[in-house]
Amino acid sequence: MMHVTTFKWPEPTAKSVLLCIYLLHNLNCLKVIERWFCCANFYKKVWLSFNF
């Protein structure tokens, strides 16, 4: 008793949509990582300025 949806996407559309999502996800990750590094550098400078 397997309930499987028979609906299938057109192959090119599905691939292009997945590719777009993948690229957007990677760009968002890069932006987040960049922001994190900027914040980390800023806090490191603040921390060093307080220590010395």
List, as one string, the DSSP characters of the chain: ----------HHHHHHHHHHHHHHHHHHHHHHHHHHHHHHHHHHHHHHHHH-
Spatial separation of the C-alpha atoms in residues 8 and 15, rounded to whole Å: 12
Q: What is the pLDDT of residue 16?
A: 87
pLDDT, tens digit, 9 for 90 and up, residues 1-52 = 555 666 666 777 888 888 888 988 888 888 888 888 888 988 888 888 887 6
Spatial separation of the C-alpha atoms in residues 42 and 14, rounded to whole Å: 42
Q: What is the pLDDT of residue 49?
A: 86
Single-letter amino acid, residue 11: E
